Amino acid sequence: MRGKVPDHIARIKQYIPGTPEEDVPAAAGQDKPLKLASNENPLGPSPRALEAAWTALKRCHRYPDGSGRLLREALSTHWGLSMEQIVLGNGSTELVEILARTFLGKDDWAVMAQQSFIMYRIAVMAVHGHFREIPLREMRHDLVAMASACDERTALLYIANPNNPTGTYVSNTALDEYFRQVPPSVLTVLDEAYGEYLQSDDYPLGLEYLRKGRRVVVLRTFSKAYGLAGLRLGYALASAEVASAMERVRSPFNTNRVAQAAALAALGDEEHLRRSREMNRNGLAYLEEQFLQRGLRFTPSAANFILVHFDRSAQEVYQSLLELGVITRPMTPYGFPQSLRITVGGDAENARLVGALDKVRAAAGR
Ligand SMILES: Cc1ncc(COP(=O)(O)O)c(C=O)c1O
């Protein structure tokens, strides 16, 4: 019957975002809930971004610049690419969708890790594409298996680096080997949503592979280290040919005036970015130490969150923490039914989380 929900849409399991603060009553003795569920920046936005956002807001009766020229110019200088190689999105999530709409037909396939950002799967399913999911190996993308899973029907391959929800990353050696192996027709999406947090020598910048002429699209976002998640601004770095194809599919005013202005200012505020990184580094070190002291298992992370493993249902631990006003994210939909993903907060927030975990574990006797 025409007009009924198509089967391939009916099969999609709806994305469940982190519980919003607005939905959680403050716990006794706390003035507000603590959200550590969506990998947001505890430092907040750059004051320069806020000021630019306010100025732009006063012009909100006008459509935004549909091409986002000023921001794309700044990004092109930042990355040393031409403007034609940059596509803006309403968050990088929208770019994940645009890529599927642009490159996947009904009979095409995508390859992705089994335990990775769920929007890859949803984007592929929504366009009636097919996908193969490859299990992680030692909590990392198994790039050898992923490359081997590609054949002449494979159009897209998604790699989150670092990965959500594990916080692990693949090294430049592993990625070099992957590009030697993967068929040249496959378009590799390197999602670097958390890339700003990494400064290790062996972290492979997708940009370098793009420069070498590999068939790759790099995704970045202002939602994480730049602290602008609520404004929704992500971008893709691609070859001019791939970017132009995406531009044809993108809706004309997908990124708004306020977000463009704030992102432009945030990009110029290197001090704020440095402070965000530092806060995250210290927070991660603190949490890892606290977890070690308590014998709690976790996956060492390179991002702004940490996956903690329990010996019981993560949903139960999540619920008990919620009753104490602390919002975390059970990772059952990502294939880790006994793990919580916890965003690294500021000092006081991390201490509050640890205190809440202690109470929950004491009450459960483990
Ligand atoms: C790996 C990964 N990619 C992309 C995103 C999307 O970020 P945004 O749409 O806010 O840019 C997220 C958000 O959690 C993520 O974890």
Residue 106: the pLDDT is 83
Pocket lining: 276 vs ligand 1, CB cutoff 6 Å: no
Q: Where in the chain is the domain with CATH 3.40.640.10?
A: 47-268
Q: What is the 234 CA–ligand 1 centroid distance (Å)? A: 9
Residue 231: the pLDDT is 98
Give whole-number Cα distances, 337 to 153, 186, 254, 332, 334, in Å. 32, 32, 35, 4, 8
Closest CA to 129 of 187, 174, 170, 90: 187
Q: Which two tokens stand for residue 310?
A: 């329990």
Q: pLDDT tens string for the chain (366 positions)?
A: 788 999 999 999 988 888 888 888 777 677 789 999 999 999 999 999 999 999 999 999 999 999 999 999 999 999 999 999 999 999 999 999 999 999 998 889 999 999 999 999 999 999 999 999 999 999 999 999 999 999 999 999 999 999 999 999 999 999 999 999 999 999 999 999 999 999 899 999 999 999 999 999 999 999 999 999 999 999 999 999 999 999 999 999 999 999 999 999 999 999 999 999 999 999 999 999 999 999 999 999 999 999 999 999 999 999 999 999 999 999 998 889 999 999 999 999 999 999 999 999 998 887
Q: Where in the chain is the domain with CATH 3.90.1150.10?
A: 10-44+271-364
Closest CA to 303 of 163, 120, 117: 163
Residue 29: the pLDDT is 72
Radius of gyration of the chain (CA): 21
Please determine, looking at this structure, whether the domain spanning 10-44+271-364 carries the CATH number 3.90.1150.10. yes
Model's pTM, two decimal places? Answer: 0.96
Residue 194: the pLDDT is 98
Closest CA to 306 of 316, 297, 317, 295: 297
Q: For the domain bounded by 47-268, which CATH number is listed?
A: 3.40.640.10
Residue 264: the pLDDT is 98
Nearest CA to ligand 1 atom 16: 164
Closest CA to 122 of 110, 108, 134: 110
Report the 10 Å Cβ neighbour count for 49.
27
Nearest CA to ligand 1 atom 2: 193
To test the ligand 1 pocket, which listed residue (116, 168, 223, 231) has its Cβ within 8 A of the most ligand atoms? 223
Residue listed under structure tokens 């606290």: 290
As a whole number of angstroms, the distance between CA 115 and CA 223 comes to: 21
